[in-house]
Chain A
């Protein structure tokens, strides 16, 4: 049985690399002070990061557990803490605790399945971990499709990795789209929900989706029109959290605690919960 000493008391992490992904998203590489990962995790799990004196918040771990050297967090600047995080340089220490929550069922329900990842904007962050995990254990999974959209070309997170690794890898179909026409862009233009419908996936696939609420809402509608069941779709949620262990009450929705029972939910499970997310 673990107790508070391991949950509320954080560990120290060191920022070893800062990557500017988009004008408002940076990816931070974090290791333990002595090197190596601060802790192990599974794809979809989260960690509480904090700058002492500023605040603490939950972020999904965007790197794959298969990476044994470091963890990565892609963070969009939107509030007080994230603004501070964005000001960090290499060498800065932060506090890290976790891992929290349930992961995507990569070792159970998803195993052997054909997967479609649908992401919008910063929503790629939690899915990136799963994608790279599945790439690593490629033989365990069927086809992989990735639909990723953003406001513009500049807002695509991890664009380099997408282009240089995912797009080049056999057996992975990457479908990128941006909201509005742009000079340098020769790919698809349009919103993710419509693009998903245009692509029209086979019904034998499992969908993993993450992005802005409005995108999820319309994509889900589209998927249902295509014939998908809610039980075929997984998502991950973002709520305000403090303890991470289902005690502080903040992320309580219905009889679930997102930090502990989530953040990964299947849509048919979510349907039974109050719409307070």
Chain B
């Protein structure tokens, strides 16, 4: 284990960003996102979450797939792929770190999504343990240890030091490039902090959410539960929950005519949107109830069924604080987690 004093942390960032792009939580116009590090950037390691999750780095909101040139009746296709440069993603919380596993199940399954795969391959993840969770946190429900996140390198922060531990080969390699600014450390401070954090975690109001029904009850029983109607009644059908969610991965493929060619790009889509499944002659999900149900059934029932019980939620709590009407997955788990008429 290594450490570096927080007042020298810019040296670490400078070292990390020396050869490759370093993404870390930076505040711009009042909000925090993973932005490339530059000198004088307002780095906010204290923040619990970025608004968008870290998935944006591997599965960007908008990404060009290819360019097409039209000439009379002929079409020419040029791949819009570019060779991915290596990058470091620093400051990923445990929940977001787990979300990469969830996304891997989708994008790395056959056939592999090479755009995603390339970014995964080129990205080194430096995750950061939590010490100050908020009431919206419930990652523990999904077996995530916020004090011991997954990642190539894990870092812990206490009041004056950052502790650094490589966990994978990639992590070791990265450590080598920054070793000069780090000093050796024992793990006492980290252990003490982990213990303190665990105590706080015990006070989290959502820590006891019960997921058993979603894996044990019949899919159609949950699907046909009448309480979906009241849960979804006031859903605005916006995409906020989807877009801030670290595990939502629905996308759309669209064409844009630039006047001298057509760009085919993909962008995040939301199953909460009315036009998500709409076809010219009809829409299999006509009401917001059906769209709302789909989102949560997918996260809590369909996805685990196909992926050895792994839920497509990591308990980051973003949707809890961002939903305009405060309807969210915690409420769904609480309500639907109990069988109707029980």
Chain A residues within CB distance 8 Å of chain B: 1-10, 12, 50, 52-56, 78-80, 82, 89, 91-95, 238-240, 242-243, 245-255, 272, 274, 276-277
Contacts and interface: CB of A to CB of B under 8 A. Distances in A.
A274 B220 contact: yes
Interface stretch (B113-121, B146-154, B163-171): B113-121
Contacts of B77: 9-10, 12, 95
Contacts of B212: none
Contacts of A8: 65, 253, 266
B73 A93 contact: yes
B114 to A, nearest CB: 4
B277 A247 contact: no
A54 B278 CA distance: 16
Please give me the 8 A-B residue pairs with the lowest Cβ-Cβ distance, nearest first.
A79-B280, A249-B250, A52-B262, A3-B114, A2-B111, A3-B112, A4-B114, A53-B257
B192 interface: no
Given A8-B65, A255-B302, A248 B253 contact: yes
15 contacts: A1-B111, A6-B111, A9-B77, A52-B68, A78-B280, A79-B281, A95-B68, A242-B253, A242-B269, A247-B107, A248-B253, A249-B249, A254-B223, A255-B302, A276-B284
B80 to A, nearest CB: 9
A95 B75 contact: yes
Interface in B76-123: 77, 79, 81, 106-107, 109-115, 117
A80 B279 CA distance: 10
A52 B219 contact: no
Contacts of B142: none
A4 B68 contact: no
Given A5-B114, A239-B279, 10 more contacts: A9-B79, A52-B75, A53-B255, A82-B280, A240-B276, A240-B277, A251-B277, A252-B298, A254-B223, A277-B284
A98 to B, nearest CB: 12
B111 A56 contact: no
